Structure 1
């Protein structure tokens, strides 16, 4: 009975997580559905708060240089993950621990993030109609993968990895190597932007609406996010239904315990 109750609680938690994830995709889908298509040079005619969707090339006079791949860009994020190995097992006496049980020995592997960063700058979306400024603070970014490599701990390249303070000991753990991953939106990349217009005629998120900045097309977003939205709803309904059945089974077991 208690196992059924625990199972029911876990299933209900899973349903809640699925609904939360669906809400995030729903917010993005609603933004795209409500946005009015405009060319970059026309956005200045929109009224403040109006949702617009534009496509064009990303340009900036303040372009960033990404830390790992040194790509000129308007946005980047990177993460460095350390892979390590450590001994497992405790103090032993003749192959057994102090409680008399046989000790589990061997090596245990793990991963931990040792460095990460995310940066962006205001930029322009341009085409032949003109340009519109985008302030991407707090935006939902989708960037291309520009680096995905693994460096062993004995590699000569480790000292040249920005943001990494190499310490092969790490409290007794043996470092095996580092995963370096970086995503970026290089300058000149064709982008799809959806979000509200501010009082200056720029595109910028506000309290009521978010901002989408992605290298993917609108049709690709609708197809991908629409499917995820539906799948999360189905997962939530299935988990909630199974949770109800688990609670019902626990209730039946409790009643039968009186007979």
Structure 2
């Protein structure tokens, strides 16, 4: 038991290390990005074009504004207008599981499990408007904060297909392992007409001033639903909690490993 606990907590400590690393890079990105508005970016782009030619601007910035889009996406399940959506459809089922203890005693239990049978995500370019104008955003490669709009479970029926909003799927004849209980539909979106924070690289390489991913690995491209100060506070708190969790997991792993070794001697 001590060896198993040591292995589990060691894995948890490793996972938390990488989570902490991700959020530290996000914090560094937010602090590194230069605050900008649409007028400033256009002036900088014009200046750079005059000095070394059009299409040469590369500047890592953060900009707050409202989403504008002429032709929004319509999410597949909830059919909400948006500039980004992602959804998953999962089959929930019951399965008999065989368990054997250290004395060889066998017991059978019924466990509820799930498996993803369909998922998709889509985004569309949009404009970020502030009081001075607007800048194009290409969100495809961004880490995007979203709003959940659907989490619904529907019991299984006798039909061989699923349908929800604009989504449909034909089911296989065997229906998968175990006894199917039903299907869960989840969807989240980045809605239109929402104020957001975009942190990314401003470039005029395509001929239009655009916010997109940076070529620098440690400069994240992300879209947040909160202003900069709120995002900073949230990221710092996450780093603190993950650090505490990582230290605790590493400590438990070390103690459990020592206990397991002592049992061998």
TM-score band w.r.t. shorter chain: 0.7 to 0.9
Query: Which residue of 231, 235, 242 maps to 2:241?
Result: 231
Q: Contact 1:64–1:120 at 8 Å: present in 2 too?
A: yes
| Residue 96 (structure 1) aligns with | none
The question of 1:111 aligning with 2:108 is answered: no
User: Structure 2 vs 1, CA of residues 165 and 42 (structure 1 numbering), >3 Å: closer, same or farther?
Assistant: farther
What is the Cα deviation at residue 72 of structure 1?
A: 1.8
TM-score, with length taken from structure 1: 0.80
Where do 5+ consecutive residues of structure 2 fail to align? 46-56, 99-103
Residue aligning to 1:159: 163
Provide the residue aligned with 1:68 in structure 2: 77
1:149 is matched with: 152
Partner Cα distance (1:127, 1:75) in 2: 20
Pick from 187, 191, 209 the counterpart of residue 192 of structure 2: 187
Select the residue among 193, 197, 204 that pairs with 2:202.
Answer: 197
Greater shift, 156-165 or 120-129, is seen at 156-165
Contact persistence 1:43–1:202 (CA under 8 A): no
Q: Name the CA distance, whole Å, in 2 between partners of 1:236 and 1:107.
A: 33
Partner of 1:50: 59
1:24 and 2:16 matched: no
Q: Secondary structure in 2 aligned to 1:170?
A: coil
What is the rounded CA distance, in whole Å, between the counterparts of 1:210 and 1:149 in structure 2? 33
Q: Given the superposition, is the C-alpha separation of residues 61 and 36 from structure 1 closer, same or farther in structure 2, using an over 3 Å criterion?
A: same
Aligned match of 1:130 in 133, 149, 157? 133
Q: Is the deviation greater in 32-41 or in 159-168?
A: 159-168
Q: Helix, strand or coil for the counterpart of 1:50? A: strand
> Is 2:88 aligned against 1:85?
no
Shift of 1:73: 1.3
Contact 2:33 2:61 in 1 (8 A): yes
Q: Is the 1:81–1:114 contact (alpha carbons within 8 Å) kept by the matching residues of 2?
A: yes
Could you report, residue by residue, the CA deviation over 1:218-240 in whole angstroms, capped at 9, with x for unpaired residues?
23322222111111112222222
Aligned length: 243
CA deviation after TM superposition for structure 1 residue 60, in Å: 2.3
- In the TM superposition, residue 118 of structure 1 has moved relative to its aligned partner by 0.6
SS of the residue 2:137 aligns to: strand
Question: Is the aligned partner of 1:178 residue 2:183?
Answer: yes
CA deviation string 1:35-64 (max 9, x = no partner): 222223332234633221111111223421
TM-superposed CA distance for 1:174, in Å, is: 3.1
- Shift, 1:206, TM fit: 2.0
CA distance in structure 2 between the partners assigned to 1:177 and 1:193 by the alignment: 38
Please tell me whether residue 222 in structure 1 is matched to residue 226 in structure 2: no
**Which of the pair is proportionally richer in strand?**
2
Distance 1:5 1:58, change over 3 A: same
Larger radius of gyration: 1
Question: Structure 2 CA distance, aligned partners of 1:60 and 1:148?
Answer: 26
